Structure 1
Amino acid sequence: MSDAPNTPAPAAPDFATLGLAEPLRQALQELGYTQPTAIQQLVIPLVLEGQDIAGQAPTGSGKTAAYGLPLLQKLDLQLDAVQVIVLVPARELALQGRDELKRLGKYLPGLRVAAFYGGHGFQEETKSLRQAPHVLVATPGRLFDHLDRRTFIPNKLQLLVIDETDKLLDLKFQEALANIVQRLPRRRQTLLFSATMPDKVLELVRRNLTRPRHVQAGSEGESLPESLTLLGQFGPAEKKPAALFHLLQKPETGRALIFCNTRQRCEELARFLSSRGVAAEALHGKMPQPERDKALLKLRNGSALALVATDVAARGIDVQDLDTVVQFEVPDKADTFQHRAGRTARAGATGTAHVLATPAEQQQVLRWQMPKAVSWQPLHAPSLPPAEKTIRPTTVTLHVSAGRKEKVSAHDLVGALVNVAGLQREDVGRIEVFDHYSYITVPREAGKAVQQSMSGARIKGQKVRVTEVR
């Protein structure tokens, strides 16, 4: 037996040892982030050193905080100019990224973060540039419009982040990206992140990054969490709706995200589920932004049990603790299949991803080389039960006709629900405040009473209307 003293194991890195400032660590502590993820350990010090980075990480790995924390630390908050641009492929990701950066920078005095994206007022964005945001999270098309019309000049830009690069290229944003990069200062730091690194992404790295450091968290091609259970059923296409309905009735299914390949099928399936008593919403790229906000909110707060979506939601949806993903149709590519499945079981949580396949679709999945195998069984499609036996959500979502621009906050809405509507504070569910309207979640049995008592009430001097979101 050796007399040598035991050598203590090296301490796991924390956010302080990565070089992050106290205001950022304070926000992290408040958000419950105690230990950096693998991608955060790799990326944060390199960004602080000024390195260009080409990063690859699986879904749910904490990538936004990996680049967001150091870029927030590098800002000059006294400088009234856009210093960082983050490019993302979809408006949901722009809003999600903006909100995440605001949460991470909560204790940075005077921080301004904005989201620019298609589908809402260009002039409203232009007006916001009068006091320029320090960080701009944008979709390529809308950002190019601003650069082309010279509504802002990015001459103070220090850092460019290209996020979800493989998805940006899949959506044919190559030309927009090239036009944007041509208009940016050459002396800048560039960070590129992608779930996969096909040749077209590597070519973008070669053209736009200077001596980049390549970092990867997880094994090559890995985008399925360890805590994910992957189940498949195969059978005739006409039995799929009944099989899906049966699956959604199981209590363990919980909140479900259901993927279809086309907008038409997405709408048809949402109507079918609703007609059978399932609280289901549709989400696709042609919906107006308020309708998309509403659909996502209802899934997040539990007043919808299922969201039927096209791939616009595959990377842009912001739902914590999503229990189940169902692929009602099989996509063309293996990486899309994996990205869909990876929407559940994020950050170590457990989750289940189902695929409902015809025999031909099953053979397509079996041909793909994936880090996890699908466990297959014949399609289980019993007769549809009477609608009254279906699961109903225990909450409803109410629309309030006032938001940020009317100086209304979540705290104001809670006060009104307690003092005007007579709810107990613990009965107030999720609240989300947008520019000119807000959504609140209340118990289903209290929904009508809340509408009656709050309609016509004043919040911050603003007379409001309250209606149920259907």
Structure 2
Amino acid sequence: MPSFSDLGLAPYLLQALEELNFTAPTPVQEQVVPLALAGQDVAGQAPTGSGKTAAYGLSILQQLDIKTDAVQVIVLVPARELALQVRDALKKLGKYLPNLRVVAFYGGHAFRDETVALKQPPHVVVATPGRLLDHFERRTIVPNQLKVLILDEADKLLELGFQDELVEIVKRLPRRRQTLLFSATMSDKVLALIRANLTRPRVVSAGEEEGGNLPENLTLLGHVGPIEKKPAALLHLLQKPETGRALIFCNTRERCVELARFLVGRGVAAEVLHGKMPQPERDKALMKLRNGSSQVLVATDVAARGLDVTALDTVVQYESPDKADAFQHRAGRTARAGAVGTAHILTTPKEQEHVQKWPVAETIQWKAMHAPALPPAAPKAPRPTSATLHVSAGRRDKVSAHDLVGTFVAHGGLEREAVGHIEVFDHYSYVAVPREQATDVAQRVTGAKIKGRKIRVSLVE
């Protein structure tokens, strides 16, 4: 089995990989990294969870000239969640690149904040097409020193109607550049995009979606019954200890809100995620799932791509998607990076008939829907042991996770081990703490100073 050192990577990248416990390259990394380092254009077919972000991330980080203050790499992604995920992944991989600057730009985020971030040009820009084009038109980004363009999840970029934006963006880029494209499927539209934008590309395949290429450690379970039994069947699944942390998919935001309200009424700590939510509300919902303050996230397909929640045990497709690729992307949110996971789908007999036509769904183990009588609307499932606190300081205040741990230990009366998952955003941070101490800790830490600034701390409801 090859190692990362066999791929020609620099020592500073190998050190970061070791800290991240990346022991051996995935097939897509093994194929892409040497080609990309050699300057080749690459068209990669890479399904969910294949490790493509690290495949192109390692390649571009090694090619950066950190001493040059210019945008050298642009990564185009279809959704803001994916933009944030890719930005964070590149920062972790480039931890030992001194003064590396990676930014994420996307719609729904204050433009003035992005303009401030451009005062010292970033080396890598991860962006959604519309927002990047806005920067080009305002000349806040001038890509005249661009080395590499990456089109990530190209099929989704086209599906969401970004064709015109992609054409306009490419027009403004240097012709002498490297282009890397990744897509879960190779439709005619994606092939046309490759022909128009890549020069003599090397084609890499890490598994075809149509062939049912899902993570090896994923168990697919199908439950068939009348539509009126779905709520009780879902509640039954969520109350099983092995279900753990779960992501539930619905087809509309209205159904997400309705289903989350039903679950909360039965004592399940559930949050909602859909495309119409403001970014801070999205951040909060994802944070509560990641740090264990909630058990369940009920989401539309906005969460199917680009959402990476570590230790996600279970996915439930409460409503069947229309297409096979949506089924795969939903199911592939669990059992990532070698972990074990289970994906359930709840269907009526008619929905089952539709799903069974997809090769990707051929390994589903079907059984009758088990739906015990619904309990009255009263807490039954145990509440999570963690709660989330909001802190009124973030990256722009030079605050780090290390600073927050020290403050919560010194002022909040917590043992260091009791401070849970921390995420730091530009203007605020989230900290997980034991639920029974959360209110007291918030009161104790409010008014404490970090980097000379008083902070406010409040419980995230």
The normalised TM-score by structure 2 is 0.98
Q: Would the aligned equivalents of 1:223 and 1:342 in 2 still touch at CA under 8 Å?
A: no
For residues 166 and 418 of structure 2, the distance between their equivalents in structure 1, rounded to whole angstroms, comes to: 47
Deviations 1:58-98 (A, max 9, x none): 21111101000010000111111000000001111111101
1:130 corresponds to which residue? 119
8 Å CA contact 1:44–1:69 kept in 2: the answer is yes
- Aligned partners of 2:209, 2:325: CA distance in 1, in Å? 12
Superposition pairs of residues 364-443 of structure 1, within 5 angstroms? 364-370=354-360, 372-386=362-376, 387-443=378-434
Aligned to 1:3: none
**Partner amino acid, structure 2, of 1:238:** E
Among the aligned pairs, what percent are the same residue? 70
Give the partner amino acid of 2:455. V
Q: Which residue of 1 aligns with 2:349?
A: 359
1:370 shift after superposition? 2.0
- Deviation at residue 361 of structure 1 after TM alignment: 0.8
Partner residue of 1:5?
A: none
- In structure 1, the partner of 2:143 is 154
Residue segments in structure 1 that go unaligned for 5+ positions in a row: 1-11
Tell me, in whole angstroms, the C-alpha distance in 2 between the residues paired with 1:311 and 1:218: 22
The residue identity in structure 2 corresponding to 1:202 is: L
Structure 2: distance between partners of 1:395 and 1:375? 34
Change (3 A) 1:414 1:397: same
How far does residue 134 in structure 1 lie from its aligned partner after superposition? 0.4
Tell me, what secondary structure is at the counterpart of 2:118? helix
Are residue 33 (structure 1) and residue 41 (structure 2) matched?
Answer: no
CA distance in 2, matches of 1:371, 1:390: 31
Aligned residue runs from structure 1 range 231-380, under 5 A: 231-370=221-360, 372-380=362-370
- Aligned residue number for residue 82 of structure 1: 71
Tell me by how many angstroms 1:220 deviates: 6.0
Aligned residues: CA RMSD:
1.2
The AA in structure 1 aligned to 2:339 is A
- 1:85 is paired with a residue of what secondary structure? strand
The answer to whether the Cα contact below 8 Å between 1:52 and 1:190 also exists between their aligned partners in 2 is yes
Residue 45 of structure 1 is matched in structure 2 by: 34
Summarize the alignment of residues 107-126 of structure 1 with structure 2, pairs less than 5 Å apart: 107-126=96-115
Instruction: Name 1:6's counterpart in structure 2.
Output: none
> 2 CA distance for matches of 1:127 and 1:407?
15
Instruction: Give per-residue Cα distances to partners, 1:426-459, cap 9 Å, x unaligned.
Output: 1110001111111000111111210121122222
CA–CA distance in 2 between the matches of 1:87 and 1:77? 21
Matches within 5 A, 1:203-222: 203-219=192-208, 221=210, 222=212
CA shift, 1:148, in A, is 1.7
Measured in 2, the distance between the counterparts of 1:218 and 1:343 equals 17
Structure-1 separation of matches of 2:221 and 2:253: 25
| Paired residue type of 1:441 | A
* 3-state SS in 1 of match to 2:186: coil
CA offset at residue 238 of structure 1? 1.7
Q: Is the 8 A contact 1:224 1:372 kept in 2?
A: no
| Superposed displacement of residue 312, structure 1 | 0.6
Q: Which amino acid aligns with 1:331?
A: P
Indicate yes or no: 2:217 matched with 1:227.
Answer: yes
- Alpha carbons 2:221, 2:345 under 8 Å: kept: yes
- Matched to 1:428, the amino acid is V
Secondary structure of the equivalent of 1:144? Answer: helix
Match of 1:175 in 2: 164
- Note the C-alpha offset of 1:128: 1.6
Could you tell me which residue of structure 2 aligns to residue 55 of structure 1?
Answer: 44
- CA contact 1:54–1:215 (8 Å) conserved in 2: yes
Letter aligned with residue 241 of structure 1: P
SS in 1 for 2:237: helix
2:87 to 77, 93, 98: 98
Would the aligned equivalents of 2:220 and 2:344 in 1 still touch at CA under 8 Å?
Answer: yes
- Tell me: CA distance 1:220–1:370, structure 2 relative to 1, closer, same or farther (3 Å): closer
For the residues of structure 1 that align with 2:105 and 2:213, how far apart are their CA atoms? 28
What SS is found at the alignment partner of 1:71?
helix
Counterpart in the other structure of 2:185: 196
Q: Does 1:166 align with 2:139?
A: no
CA contact (8 A) 1:224 1:371 kept: no
Q: Secondary structure at the match of 2:379?
A: helix
**SS in structure 1 opposite 2:375?**
coil
Q: What is the one-letter code of the residue matched to 1:124?
A: D
Q: Distance in 2 between matches of 1:288 and 1:109?
A: 33
CA distance in 2, matches of 1:405, 1:114: 13
Contact 2:184–2:209 at 8 Å: present in 1 too?
no
Shift of 1:461: 1.8
Shift of 1:388: 3.2
How far, CA to CA, are the matches of 1:223 and 1:193 in structure 2?
Answer: 16
Report deviation, 1:127. 2.1
Offset at residue 125 of structure 1 (A): 1.0
SS at match of 2:125: strand
How far apart are the structure 1 equivalents of 2:72 and 2:14? Answer: 22
Is the Cα–Cα contact under 8 Å of residues 45 and 208 in structure 2 kept in the other structure?
no
- The TM-score normalised by the length of structure 1 is 0.96
Deviation at 1:466, TM superposition (A): 1.1
C-alpha displacement at 1:389, in angstroms?
2.3
Instruction: Note closer, same or farther for the CA distance 1:223–1:148 as it changes in structure 2 (3 Å cut).
Output: farther
CA distance in 2, matches of 1:131, 1:418: 35
